[in-house]
Each structure stands twice: as C-alpha cells, then as structure tokens.
Amino acid sequence: MNIADTLYGNFEVEGVFQEIVLSAPFQRLKEVHQGGALYLVNPLLNHTRFDHSLGVYWLVTRFGGNLRERAAAMLHDLSHTAFSHVIDAVFDHKEVDFHETIFQEVLSSSTIPSILAKYNLNDILNSFDNYTLLEQPLPEICADRLDYTLRDLYHADMINSNEVKNFLNDLAVKDGKFVISTVASAKWFSQQYKRLNEDYFKKQEHLFANKQLAGIIRKAIIDGNLSKIELMSTDAEVIRKLNSSGYEDELTALKNLEGFDTFDFRKAAQNLKVRIMT
C-alpha cells in the first residue's frame, strides 16, 4: 500500500501496518485535525492525526526502529478525540494528556488488538517507556516531537520542503535516541520549535479558535446535548451534532472571529502547556 505524505514523500506500508492503516479506528483519524479548531479559522491548517501518525511511523522506520516500535509509533495517537487537544481544555487537563488517560480503554474496545494478535504484537502497547525513538521528555527530540513540529510549521508556511529535507539529512540515531549531527541543524530546529510555541500555538487567531470551541463543547456537554462518547467520533460529526443542537450561531461567530477584539489572549496563552527546548 502506497502512502503519499506531504513532508516525506511516497512510502509503502504492508503486513500489520497496512491492516492498521485500513482499520476503522485508524481511518477515523483522517477526520481529526491536528490543530483542533485552527482549520475553522484557517482552512490551510487541515492536516490530521492520520497524517501525523503516519509521519511518526515513517521517522521511526526510516531511522531503524524495530517492528514493535514502528507499530507503537503508528498507533500512539489512536485515542485522540475529535478536535485533538481542544478536549484537554474542555476537561481542564493542563498536561494536555486526556487522550493518554483513555488510551487503553479506547484501544481495548477497538479492532486493533485482534490485528496485532495475528502478528504476535498484542502486548506492544502496554507501555511506551521502551520506545526511545518514539517518545522522549523535553528537551530531548523524538519522532513524535519532530513530526508535529515540522508538519505544523510546514502547513503554516513557516518552513519549506527544502528546509525539511536538509534537516532530515542531519538527523541520526545514537544509543537508541535521535540526535542532530550538525550544530547548524541543531540551532535551526531549536529556533523552529521556539517559533512553533511562540508564533503558532500562541498566534492570537489560534488561541481564540481553540478556546472558543472548547467553551462551546463544554457548554454542550453540560446542557446534555453532547456526550463524552460522541467525542470519540470525528470533527465533522461533532460539528454536525453542535449545529443540530442549537450552537450553530456560536460556531459561526467562532469562524468569523466575532469577539476577537475583546478576547483575553494573555490569559489564554498562560494556560498553554509550557514547552521549552534548550
């Protein structure tokens, strides 16, 4: 099966990886936007958890990850709700880890365990601690952090494909962890990660969109018009439910940036998770 990726080009997946990609739980991620509500105010920011998951898989594969870590990379975001991290704000998860708290529950109720069992991989998602290419705490780099940084900035037109290619050429693995082989590329990535946090995550339109949508969803849940179970659908399905439940005007106001001029951007930025790479 051929995958055409915006950042990394074409690559093949087969066997267990093809079965995962074609499964309903993984296909759902095609309609879960990486940036939450950002696409509602900027349609160019339309990349998804599906794209990101395949990108993380490619990085782990390209840099020598074994079968188990490659499968974990592909599945690491399976439990993201509709609108991704917007739901952390809905439920006040300041560590932006709501999807992690429900991961095992979502996984066990899906078709993924039966796929993994066919390949004797059914225990690979009990813990991510051993997957050193996939996940690392800041300020280390890892496939997850590398991909979302490059992908978000690329779609925001803040970096270009040549910069991505040149940076990837300077990536390497040492002692099971990603390293950047040149000082120039290390400085470049550090600067881009800072831009991601300061100029992308904290961009006023982005803060506004995610905060407003979180408020609409929270209100709908309190009103009894939206359930937590429905959050495990897709962005489009949640939008349809909100529209049919009387929140259409509020969604339209969000898209039109109504209230933008009086929005408390400083408070919204302060509530973001702190991400620092030295």
Q: What is the CATH number of the domain that holds 116?
A: 1.10.3210.10
Number of domains in the chain: 1
DSSP 225-245: SS-TGGGGS-HHHHHHHHHHT
Q: Is residue 66 part of a domain?
A: yes
Whether 212 maps to a domain, the answer reads no
Give the pLDDT band (50/70/90) at residue 72: very high
Residue 207 inside a domain? The answer is: no
> Any idea of the CA torsion for 123, 14, 46, 179, to the nearest 10 degrees?
70
- Average pLDDT over the chain reads 96
Nearest to 86 by CA among 217, 274, 225: 217
The answer on pLDDT for 273 being more than 80 is no
pLDDT at residue 90 tops 90: yes
Q: Is 265 part of any domain?
A: no
What burial class does residue 169 get, using C-beta atoms within 10 Å of its C-beta: 0-12 exposed, 13-18 middle, 19+ buried?
A: exposed
pLDDT of residue 31: 98
- List, for residues 163-193, the tens digit of each pLDDT value: 999 999 999 999 999 999 999 999 999 999 9
Q: Which residue has the tokens 């690559």?
A: 11
Question: What crossing angle do the helices spanning 204-222 and 235-244 adopt, rounded to 10°?
Answer: 60
pLDDT above 70: residue 278? no
3-state secondary structure of 199: helix
Enumerate the H helices of the chain as residue ranges. Answer: 16-22, 24-27, 38-41, 49-62, 67-75, 86-90, 98-101, 103-108, 112-118, 143-155, 161-169, 183-195, 204-222, 235-244, 248-255, 265-270
What is the residue range of 148's domain?
Answer: 2-201
For residue range 100-146, what is the model confidence (pLDDT) as tens digits?
999 999 999 999 999 999 999 988 888 778 899 999 999 999 999 99
Element (H, E) at 3: strand 2-5
Q: How many CA atoms lie within 13 A of 214 on its CB side?
A: 21
Which pLDDT score is estimated for 237? 98
Report the predicted TM-score, pTM, of the whole model to 2 decimal places. Answer: 0.96
Secondary element (H or E) of residue 1: none
- What is the DSSP annotation of 42-60? -TT---BHHHHHHHHHHHH
